[in-house]
Chains A and B, each alone.
Chain A
Amino acid sequence: MNNIKIKSKNLNVYYGDKQALFDVNLDLNEKEVTALIGPSGCGKSTFIRCINRMNDVIDICKVTGNIEMDGMNINDKDLDVVSLRERVGMVFQKPNPFPKSIYDNISYGPKIHGKGETKSELDQIVENSLKKSALWEEVKDRLDEPGTSLSGGQQQRLCIARAISVNPEVILMDEPCSALDPIATAKIEELIDELKKTYTIVIVTHSMAQAVRVSQKTGFFHLGKLIEVGNTEKIFKNPDNKMTQDYITGRFG
């Protein structure tokens, strides 16, 4: 069993008057993949957006309770979100490369954080990030081409490389394969398997099969509540909760 990397205690999230998360207590283990499943609108994405404070972008969003990373309170009002997001990267549902060159897409993060002072250091970071995201062989000869000219699956791997480029500790993935075809999905899943050696990964997914394939731990959300969490194998073979059972067997959702 790995160490606990992120720990949420009684986490509540409100969008205006509407409560989106109810007292979520969820621990994420270091260098492990945690999958979050549940029907649409159940609060999975809201939960992971608490980890890198992306909910700050939404004016009406209010977060109460505790969420800690290595003992540091993420929800602290005085916390610098810029350095938090340097440690917690994120990959979105739809690939969103910047409309710039492949090279610039990846070097942007290191540049703004002052990593890679010289051109050769930056080149090294770009190469390493692309290698880690298994994209290097496909794009090494066309780093000057716009990132948007890649295929959907390549774009998503480019976004993963972009997240890796600032050397984070945690990577959040919000349904990273929902816009991709099965072949591209398989590649991303392979990649996740590789990445978990270095990073703590949280993945939101609608595909049970994907959760089984990539994750060690699974949490099931329903209507803003964390219904059940445990080892992936146990959740899918022998869940404690009736609702989890119904969801994974496709009786609702």
Chain B
Amino acid sequence: MTKEERLKKRHRAEKRFRFYGLASILVALLFVVILVQNIFSKGSSAFKKTVITTEIFFDQDLLEIQNGASQEEIMEADFYDVMIENLIKAYPAKDRAEEDELLKLFSGDAEIEIKKAFLKDNNLLGKTITLDLTASDDIDQLHKGNYPRELPEERRRISDFQLVIYDYFVENKKISKNFNNYFFNNGDSRDPEIAGIGGALVGSFYSILICLLLAFPVAVLASIYLEEFAPKNKITDFIEININNLAAVPSIVYGLLALQILLATIQLPRSTPLVAGITLALMTLPRIIIPCRASLKAVPPSIREGALAVGASKFQSVFHHVVPLALPGTLSGTIIGLAQALGETAPLILIGMVAFVVDIPSSPVDPSSSLPVQVYLWSESAERGFVEKTSATIMMLLSFLIVMNFIAVYLRQKFEKRWN
């Protein structure tokens, strides 16, 4: 082979390598785009809900309360009849069967919505107001265009008559799309139109908070001791190897551990953020220790020597100089560990967080769900309304993760000091 040929071959090899690298990046980006596009196209409609504008007349005889009734009296009053009487006027129905079909176009929460409107303004007795009532899931999906109305009637959940009413609503501009406050404020529900991630949000918040409070101090102190104070011997090496191994243990194993120890032996309350937090803390501990030790190791020894040489004790040199310098790395490692914990599903399923919980937890010892488990639960539901809610929950989860990772990167870049 001549010199020119060898040179050409070398250049070709370099070009090939560049091409492979570029191609890999493009393939990876393509996958990300497909994922995000899929989630957005399915999920973005969940942030809107369909409402039907309805006139409500508060009939004193039906409500059986007086003007100026107290809050408790209103709470106890029966709004069911008021609801029925008003809703059937939304469309001229001929008989009882048609009225039933008409009523099914409204959500199961219509009665509560009417009651809430009444509670807000105490002066409504004997008056008529216009209210935006949440539509049922079927109408919601139909209005958002997710529902194929071309199917024959026996394969549709909406009857021909209901379609007629829907078209009547559309024609008279009685149907519209509002911001879906239920999605953020409500707990889980069997009815997709009123189901929300409120309970899961609070549950995840409590879990991560407990995880942080337990894992952060233990991990930081353990790393400082191991990195700065522990004698370099076989026992320290053994501990280090085990911490690295623990970080690689599948998370479901931590779930099994929690099931056996926290639930069966200590008998902590099942399905609660408390147990979830402890489980996630166990899992996150090694994942924080590793970056924390790495950032301690990255502080140059000359800084320690400089401090020792002016007569600082070992403790002073570590806590006055090394730890502050390692803090940005430690914090960003912690945040990334917490972000992983936030998205963790498997161990939470084992400790019973898959339970169907309607109420929003008011403390860490109330049964609750969490964001990833909510995704898991809804993804198994057949209703179309849950499909968009699953994707919307994933969007929420992803945005939390992106924000956390952004904070981690920001902390590292802002506070990392340079030394020579």
**Which residues in A have some Cβ–Cβ distance to B below 8 Å?**
52, 54, 57, 59, 82-86, 89-90, 92, 94-99, 108-109, 112-113, 146, 148, 155, 159, 162-163, 165-166
Contacts and interface: CB of A to CB of B under 8 A. Distances in A.
Nearest to B302: A96
B305 A163 contact: no
A70 to B, nearest CB: 17
B309 A112 contact: no
B404 interface: no
B349 to A, nearest CB: 46
17 contacts: A54-B305, A59-B231, A92-B305, A96-B300, A96-B305, A96-B419, A98-B307, A98-B321, A99-B325, A112-B316, A148-B417, A148-B418, A155-B420, A162-B310, A163-B310, A166-B310, A166-B311
B311 A94 contact: no
Given A85-B308, A95-B420, A109-B310, 8 more contacts: A54-B309, A57-B305, A57-B308, A59-B231, A89-B310, A96-B303, A163-B310, A166-B310
Q: How large is the interface on B (under 10, 10 to 19, 20 to 34, 35 or more residues)?
A: 20 to 34
Interface string B303-321: 1111111111100100011
B311 A112 contact: yes
B311 A109 contact: yes
Contacts of B305: 54, 57, 90, 92, 96
Contacts of B303: 96, 98-99
Given A59-B231, A98-B321, A99-B417, A86 B302 contact: no
Interface of B: 231-232, 300, 302-313, 316, 320-321, 325, 417-420
A96 B307 CA distance: 10
A148 B419 CA distance: 7
B325 A108 contact: no
B372 to A, nearest CB: 40
A108 B320 contact: yes
Given A59-B232, A92-B302, A99 B308 contact: no
A94 B300 CA distance: 12
A85 B311 contact: yes
B420 A148 contact: yes
B63 to A, nearest CB: 72
Contacts of B312: 82, 108-109, 112
B366 to A, nearest CB: 47
A98 B418 CA distance: 10
Q: What 6 pairs between A and B have smallest CB-CB spacing?
A: A96-B302, A109-B310, A90-B309, A85-B311, A99-B417, A86-B311
Between A54, A98, A108, A163, the greatest number of chain B beta carbons within 10 A of the residue's beta carbon is seen for A98
Nearest to A108: B310
A107 to B, nearest CB: 11
A148 B304 CA distance: 16
A96 B316 CA distance: 17
B277 to A, nearest CB: 36
A210 B302 CA distance: 24
A124 B334 CA distance: 42
A61 to B, nearest CB: 12
Contact of A162 (B306, B417, B420): B306
A89 B232 CA distance: 27
A98 B313 CA distance: 16
B295 to A, nearest CB: 14
B311 A113 contact: yes
Contact of B313 (A52, A82, A95): A82
Contacts of B304: 57
Contacts of A96: 300, 302-303, 305-306, 419
A56 to B, nearest CB: 9
B108 to A, nearest CB: 62
A83 B420 contact: no
Contacts of B310: 85-86, 89, 108-109, 112, 162-163, 165-166
Between B307, B309, B418, the greatest number of chain A beta carbons within 10 A of the residue's beta carbon is seen for B309
Contact of A89 (B300, B302, B309): B309
A82 B309 CA distance: 9
A99 to B, nearest CB: 4
A94 B309 contact: no
A52 B305 CA distance: 11
Nearest to B304: A57
Contacts of A84: 311
